[in-house]
Amino acid sequence: MQSTIAPIQQLQNWLGNGLRPTLIAGPCSAETEEQVHATVKALAASGKVSMIRAGIWKPRTRPNSFEGVGEKGLTWLKDAGIATNLPVMTEVANAHHVELALKAGMDALWIGARTSVNPFTVQEIADALKGLDIPIFVKNPVNPDLQLWIGAIERFMNAGINRIAAIHRGFSYHGESVYRNEPMWEIPIRLRTIMPDLPVFCDPSHICGKRDLLALVSQRAMDMGMDGLMIETHPNPDKAWSDAAQQITPETLLTLINSLAIRQENISSAEIRDGLSELRTRIDLLDAQILDLISARMGIAREIGQYKKENGITILQLERWMEIVKTRGFRADKLGLSDDFIRNYLEQLHKESILHQTRVMNASKGDDGVMW
């Protein structure tokens, strides 16, 4: 790769405050010049905001809805930023957007979830930015595909951009959920594991879809060690032209930020470190026991597979599987374990058991256990 990622400290210093969380805020959409200036002025007065965001082009799910004011909104946004001495950013979805945004003097750009899902479009934008020094924020793709997210980030790295951050905004989910987009926290955690120098922000507005969950998700993001937040704000959220339910006033934003408990990732006290180490040792021992038990369970699954093979029985026994889900789920609830965890655990356990039974079923006769 031609570039390395600037650590969050560099990004924070560039934004001007060095505080955590680094806060990006502004309206979902630039609607009128008056609305943009009023929002930015109120956010600047809070003293908490490091950068202003506003959508100029709005990719909507269906046509005939508000799809942004277009190019003229860039001037409103830039002028409001100059008036308050705050950097401004907007979303770009193609090379033409990039050209117009740079011409208007945008200080940073973000790549939306509907764009990061398409490598062709991401590459087009990266090519348009090649050789330029402008921060790029990459939202996760709409679908839960970590490699696609990493690939989008790498395309901008290859274009020579080193001020890059990821934005976790949740993922499309077709089951029942209280969220607009399911957080799936394990995915941004894996991203941080793979790319530890990459600043990661959270966009609780798009995760929640409604304002009453924003504080909860923002706190969760801080507890996960995320570097910043991007939160949609509007002077009169209920009258917003897009995504009204998830926006909050600048005053509510200030209350939310002040209510967050900001915990430190680094452990400075030897006493605290030793106490945590003792608890982690107990976890390690339990994990070893759990793995031993799972291994023993798979041994029995192979015996069951052999029994089914000898008696001409199918691997999948739907009635038995439904019984497991029902009985284990009931017991887990009594033990204080979440439904989501138990469902995922049982599904993975069942998948692994089927894999072991399938190997037994399809073992070649007389080949000393070598599978086809």
Provide the mean pLDDT of the chain. 89
| Per-residue pLDDT at 123 exceeds 70 | yes
**Using CB atoms within 10 A of its CB, is residue 108 exposed (0-12), middle (13-18) or buried (19+)?**
buried
pLDDT at residue number 367: 42
Tens of pLDDT, residues 190-239: 999 999 989 999 999 999 999 999 999 999 999 999 999 999 999 999 99
Residue carrying the six token digits 């793995």? 291
Domains of the chain: 8-259 (3.20.20.70), 271-361 (1.20.59.10)
Distance CA 90, CA 101 (A): 8
Q: Is 31 helix (H, G, I), strand (E, B) or coil?
A: coil
Provide, rounded to the nearest whole percent, the portion of the chain with pLDDT above 90: 66
One-letter amino acid of 176: E
Higher pLDDT, residue 63 or 145: 145
> How far apart are alpha carbons 89 and 180 in whole angstroms?
24
pLDDT for the residue 100: 98
The DSSP bridge partners found for residue 19 are none
CA 202 to CA 219: how far, in whole Å?
A: 10
Q: Is the dihedral of CA 352, 353, 356, 358 positive or negative?
A: negative
**pLDDT at res. 362:** 85
Q: Which residues are 137's β-sheet partners?
A: 110, 165
- To which residue do tokens 């052999």 refer? 306
Residue 316 confidence class, pLDDT cut points 50, 70, 90: confident
Q: Residue 361's pLDDT is what? A: 86
Give dist(CA 63, CA 69) in Å, integer. Answer: 15
Residue 58: the pLDDT is: 83
pLDDT > 70: percent of the chain: 92
CB neighbourhood size of 304 (10 A): 18
pLDDT of 322 reads 82
> Assign residue 95 a region: left if phi > 0, alpha if psi is -120 to 50, beta otherwise?
alpha
**Does 10 score more than 80 pLDDT?**
no
More confident residue, 51 or 322: 51
pLDDT at site 346:
86
Both tokens assigned to 172: 């499309």
Count helices and strands in the chain by DSSP H and E runs: 14, 8
Q: Per-residue confidence at 327, pLDDT binned at 50, 70, 90? A: confident
* Mean pLDDT across 332-340: 80
337 has pLDDT over 90: no
Token pair 């990006």 in the structure block, residue: 24
In Å, the largest CA–CA distance within the chain is 81
Q: What's the pLDDT at 1?
A: 43
Instruction: Give the global pTM.
Output: 0.80
